[in-house]
Amino acid sequence: MKKNASLMLNGKALAASEERQLSERVAALRQRPVLAAIIVGDDPASQTYVRMKADACRRVGVEPRTLQLPATTSTQTLLTHIKALNEDAEVRGILLQHPVPTAIDERRCFDAIDMAKDVDGVSCLSFGRMVMNCTAWGSATPAGIMRLLAHYDIKLSGCHAVVLGRSPILGKPMAMMMLNADATVTICHSRTRALAERVKEADVLVAAVGRPHFVPSDWIKPGAVVIDAGYHPKEHCGDVVAERLPEITSAYTPVPGGVGPMTINTLISQTVRAAEQSARQPQPTL
Ligand code: NAP
């Protein structure tokens, strides 16, 4: 019997089509929303990611504002900048590019972002509310993955989802979003025993381990859905060995062109929704 063809989950195409709708929504706003990005230090990957986000902002009419701070910035100084952005009425979204230099208390700075402007979903408050199914902006990469799965009508209810990685911005929120979508979720990390066996049980696998070619083809259950969130610019690959994915899986994300464009699009889409919500608030009477 002929096997059904595997579906490539094209994040690049979905993000491009979403951008067309976002442009129309931004044009309908009275004020052009600002997405403020803070980069601390001169990590070249961070510079590239912030530039890509700024380019995507411009394509839909959102104004990107980049605050470049030196690597020697203290936690206190960074908190002062975040406070100023919280109070700036033009700014609808705030992005603190991860990672910041190790001397900075990144968690404290993430948590200082006003929840209404936390369009990257990085604060404990946003995370906790998302877990409890309350209104909050989702962490951009996992929320982008959920949008990609929904677009291709991939149902998670009853599936065994395995998330490889438990970082605060990716693995942990991913696992909680999949749990909220009624998947049975296993979270794997560097202390997980018999990792290959756990991964082989996945109906849906999300690889967010940050190591090139970490997951070999023979760890993947035939017919599984494979989401590769990893990206390694030097090797130009993700966390999963990609060659045989079209023949083994029922659906998979390419690298590049899968998760990355959805992350950026989700960040901007959440900024536009934040601006729309703010526009609906009654203006204070003097
Ligand atoms: P991270 O903070 O370094 O977390 C990596 C996770 O993988 C940790 O939970 C770690 O476990 C686990 N891990 C490391 N080595 C392992 C091993 N040998 N066996 C099992 N688990 C292991 O990375 P991240 O920020 O989540 O990013 C992960 C990947 O996603 C990176 O490639 C990054 O570039 C990519 N990313 C992509 C996007 C996008 O838009 N496409 C956005 C963000 C990140 P422990 O917790 O036990 O240390």
Task: Tell the burial category of 133 from Cβ atoms under 10 Å away from its Cβ (0-12, 13-18, 19+).
Answer: exposed
What's the CA gap between 32 and 146, in Å, rounded? 27
What pLDDT sits at residue 283?
Answer: 56
Provide the sign of the torsion angle of the four alpha carbons 214, 130, 94, 56, taken in this order. Answer: positive
Residue 31 CA to ligand 1 centre (angstroms):
37
Q: What percentage of the chain carries pLDDT values higher than 90?
A: 94
pLDDT higher than threshold 90 for residue 280? no
Q: Enumerate the active-site residues.
A: 53, 97, 120
Nearest CA to ligand 1 atom 1: 167
Domain ranges of the chain: 31-135, 140-259
Tokens of 126: 């946003």
Same CATH fold, 140-259 and 31-135? yes
Question: Which residue from 167, 187, 265 has its CB within 8 A of the most atoms of ligand 1, so it is best to mutate?
Answer: 167
CATH fold for domain 31-135: Rossmann fold (3.40.50)
Residue 284 CA to ligand 1 centre (angstroms):
45
- The pTM score is 0.96
Using DSSP's 3-state secondary structure scheme, residue 143 falls into: helix
Question: Which residue from 52, 174, 189 has its CB within 8 A of the most atoms of ligand 1, so it is best to mutate?
Answer: 189
Render pLDDT for 2-23 as a digit per residue (tens, 0 to 9).
Answer: 677 999 999 999 999 999 999 9
- CATH of segment(s) 140-259: 3.40.50.720
Long-range contacts of 22-30 (CB under 8 A, 24+ apart): 22/60, 22/265, 22/268, 22/269, 22/272, 23/59, 23/60, 23/61, 25/272, 25/276, 26/60, 26/61, 26/62, 26/272, 26/275, 27/61, 29/272, 29/275, 29/276, 29/279, 30/279
Helix pair 124-131, 171-180: axis angle to 10 deg: 20
Tokens of 210: 């940050």
Using DSSP's 3-state secondary structure scheme, residue 60 falls into: helix
Render pLDDT for 182-193 as a digit per residue (tens, 0 to 9).
Answer: 999 999 999 999
Render pLDDT for 156-197 as a digit per residue (tens, 0 to 9).
Answer: 999 999 999 999 999 999 999 999 999 999 999 999 999 999
Tokens of 225: 């859905």
Asked if 268 contacts 63 with a C-beta cutoff of 8 angstroms, the reply is no
Which is the closest atom of ligand 1 to the Cα of 170?
26
Which is the closest atom of ligand 1 to the Cα of 238?
32
Residue 263 CA to ligand 1 centre (angstroms):
15
